[in-house]
Amino acid sequence: RLPVPKLEDTITRYLNAQKPLLNDDQFRKTEELAHAFEKGIGRELHEQLVAQDNQNKHTSYITGPWFDMYLKAREPVVLNFNAFMSFNPDPKPEYNDQLIRATNMTVSAIRFMKTFRAGYLEPEVFHLNPEKSDTEIFKKIIRFVPSSVSWFGAYMVNAYPLDMSQYFRLFNSTRLPKLNKDELYTDEKAKHLLVLRNGNFYVFDVIDRDGNMLKPSEIQAHLKYILSDNSPAPAFPLGYLSSENRDTWALLRKNLLENGNEEALQKVDSAMFCLSLDDFPIKDFVHVSHTMLHGDAANRWYDKSFNLIITKDGTAGINFEHSWGDGVAVLRFQNEVFKDSTKTPAISPQSQPASVDSSRAVQKLDFKLNDALKAGITKAKQRFDATVESLSLNLIRFQEGGKELLKQKKVSPDAVAQLAFQMAFLRQYDQTVATYESCSTAAFKHGRTETIRPASVHTKKCSEAFVKELSKHSPEELQKLIVECSKYHGRLTKEAAMGQGFDRHLFSLRYLALSKELPLPDFYQDQAYARLNHNIISTSTLVSPAVQLGGFGPVVADGFGVGYQVHDDWIGCNVSSYPARNGKEFLQCIHKSLEDIFNILKGKKIGS
């Protein structure tokens, strides 16, 4: 189970995270408020939280508050919450044809779903010592140990089973807009796929009456039929509604239902997933990011648990809604789909589509729109277009080294990437700001994520040495500063992964106070608390053989959204920003910071 940290540990960790962001006077005030909270109302709330947690052993203390946080948020899901991960191309070029890849990936996705529902999907396990635990012998033995104690057997060999409670929401699921708080909806009985092309909505069954998957050649035939349909794009594309403010969208949805669209919407909501087929090829990586992060809202349904997007040239990616689950579940799905569709593809470029009557099997959904709905779609489109217009996406590949060299030098690759972000921001804006790094707590029952706070007194000291006082430090001193940052970051990462961060704990205590209608404690009204939770640099990382790049929008208007990957010999960085910040310049500063850090670690001098 996810542990509730000790209150005194949480306060200490919180103050450590505040230190680099405040001057001495501000810090003293924040420290006073924190200690008063710890001795007073905070203690009471903490005891209530622990008691509540003990009564709800079937779940974790963060589950309720976290779902609420996502589902009560009224901002549009696109750019604010939905993230994307794009697939690497199929290693066999001729398999990157849009129809072939769409068919193979759809078949692999259905195989994954059937394997999961039948209880045959291999459990997600984090192996600290893979030589011992990631073996056929261990799998054979553990299979026969009752599940109530099997986790203990895994612990003995340093293998940690991860929580998979989110997986069932991958399929046949959608987020329904409701006033004040949305709902998650899942209908596992539905057998159809939703396909979007040119703003038109199509559905067809991919599972037959006996629960078997349709033949791949039939799925291919139906997708070919959709790809060759030359119906014009709708004048009022429904997809835009899923990009709206949630309350606005809830009212429009009510109107849709009352206007005779119940059956069509039910098809959209219950579909296995949404396959979005785009009619253009990809120009470059920035174009990939724009396409997968938001694309054309006419051809997306952002409320689905995920959209599988495939462009004209077979570039594929996933855009996923975030309330139901986190990157770990989506990544596992993505890895399996990539592996299955490339290693054992269902169809080949030589395959012929089945001779079936697709015009009968495929249903094009028709929506009845009154004037209010048409006006709603027009307004949603204007809003969406304006937001997208203001969004910048930029990326770099740092080619001068990566994980291998950093491990040789005994520093943490993640710590170095995070240090580079701190250094870059200092170089560009001359300040240290609230920074967020996401860390999975899936090692615990119903764990979600915890925050790592990469901005520390160590990164601040090191960044200032590199950016402002280079001439005052010898290369050995600079090396020592990097190592200190790495050690401290390693500690923070370990704490977060073990459920010992401070963010979720403080968030839950605040949630508890509000749910009991207590006045909000002074601690939470401190400007420093608000500033720490205004995450100007929001970061997330993942590396996988299936994933080409990933990214998300800034979480605040004056922030950066940083998706990064540290590979063996290079580092990739994908940055999103709005006009308040210059993402291109930030990336140049990141590149310069990485160059400096690597030069110092290699024992070279830094060029100015």
73 in any annotated domain: no
Average pLDDT over residues 379-390: 98
Does residue 156 sit in the same domain as residue 294?
no
Checking if the pLDDT of 37 tops 90, the result is yes
Does residue 305 sit in the same domain as residue 353?
yes
pLDDT score of 153: 81
Average pLDDT over residues 281-286: 97
In CATH, what number is assigned to the domain containing residue 510?
3.30.559.10
Which residues have a Cβ under 8 Å from the Cβ of 347 and sit 6 or more positions away? 100, 103, 104, 107, 216, 217, 220
CB atoms within 10 A of CB 290: 20
607 in any annotated domain: no
Task: Please tell me the distance from the alpha carbon of residue 442 to that of residue 512, in angstroms, as a whole number.
Answer: 23
608 in any annotated domain: no
pLDDT score of 15: 98
527 in any annotated domain: yes
Checking if the pLDDT of 529 tops 70, the result is yes
Checking if the pLDDT of 608 tops 70, the result is no
Q: Which amino acid is at 301?
A: W
Q: What is the DSSP letter of 410?
A: T
CA-CA-CA-CA torsion sign (246, 248, 250, 256): negative
Task: Please tell me the distance from the alpha carbon of residue 415 to that of residue 495, in angstroms, as a whole number.
Answer: 14
Domain end (from 338, 363, 390): 390
74 in any annotated domain: no
Better-scored residue on pLDDT, 294 or 159: 294
Per-residue pLDDT tens digits for 497-520? 999 999 999 999 999 999 999 999
Task: Please tell me the distance from the alpha carbon of residue 449 to that of residue 139, in angstroms, as a whole number.
Answer: 28
Per-residue pLDDT tens digits for 400-446? 999 999 999 999 999 999 999 999 999 999 999 999 999 999 999 99
Average pLDDT over residues 106-135: 92
Checking if the pLDDT of 149 tops 90, the result is no
In CATH, what number is assigned to the domain containing residue 144?
1.20.1280.180
How many Å is the Cα radius of gyration of the chain? 25
CA angle 428, 430, 431 (to 5 degrees): 115
Does residue 480 sit in the same domain as residue 533?
yes
Does residue 444 sit in the same domain as residue 559?
yes
Helix count and strand count (H, E) for the chain: 23, 18
* 336-340, 471-475, 485-489: least confidently modelled range: 471-475
Structure token pair of residue 264:
């069509």
pLDDT score of 237: 98
Are the C-beta atoms of residues 292 and 318 closer than 8 Å to each other? yes
Domain end (from 161, 189, 212): 161
| pLDDT classification of 375: cutoffs 50, 70, 90 | very high
The per-residue pLDDT of the chain, averaged, comes to 96
The total of structural domains in the chain comes to 3
Residue 450 Cα distances to 18, 76, 203, 284, 337, angstroms = 17, 23, 38, 33, 27
**Domain range for 398:** 7-68+392-602
Task: Please tell me the distance from the alpha carbon of residue 121 to that of residue 112, in angstroms, as a whole number.
Answer: 8
Which residues have a Cβ under 8 Å from the Cβ of 408 and sit 6 or more positions away? none
pLDDT score of 606: 84
Average pLDDT over residues 363-376: 98
pLDDT score of 497: 95
Domain end (from 111, 133, 161): 161
Per-residue pLDDT tens digits for 65-76? 999 999 999 999
Q: Which residues are catalytic?
A: 322
In CATH, what number is assigned to the domain containing residue 237?
3.30.559.70
462 in any annotated domain: yes
Better-scored residue on pLDDT, 146 or 289: 289
217 in any annotated domain: yes
Does residue 152 sit in the same domain as residue 13?
no
- What percent of the chain is predicted at pLDDT more than 90? 93
| pLDDT classification of 397: cutoffs 50, 70, 90 | very high
Average pLDDT over residues 349-360: 97
pLDDT score of 142: 85
Does residue 426 sit in the same domain as residue 363?
no
Checking if the pLDDT of 383 tops 70, the result is yes
Q: Which long-range contacts (CB under 8 A, 24 or more apart) does 362-365 make?
A: 362/202, 362/203, 362/204, 362/222, 362/225, 362/226, 363/202, 363/203, 363/204, 363/267, 364/200, 364/201, 364/202, 364/229, 364/231, 365/201, 365/202, 365/203, 365/264, 365/267, 365/268
pLDDT score of 150: 82
Does residue 351 sit in the same domain as residue 336?
yes
Average pLDDT over residues 321-330: 94
449-452 β-sheet, strand order = 392-398, 571-577, 560-566, 537-541, 435-440, 449-452
Per-residue pLDDT tens digits for 540-595? 999 899 999 999 999 999 999 999 999 999 999 999 999 999 999 999 999 999 99
Instruction: For residue 85, give the 3-state DSSP assignment.
Output: strand
Does residue 382 sit in the same domain as residue 396?
no
Checking if the pLDDT of 141 tops 80, the result is yes
Give the pTM: 0.97
Average pLDDT over residues 280-289: 98
Task: Please tell me the distance from the alpha carbon of residue 337 to that of residue 112, in angstroms, as a whole number.
Answer: 7
pLDDT score of 396: 97
75 in any annotated domain: no
Does residue 296 sit in the same domain as residue 382?
yes
Per-residue pLDDT tens digits for 76-94? 999 999 999 999 999 999 9
Does residue 334 sit in the same domain as residue 454?
no
Does residue 192 sit in the same domain as residue 213?
yes
Does residue 337 sit in the same domain as residue 474?
no
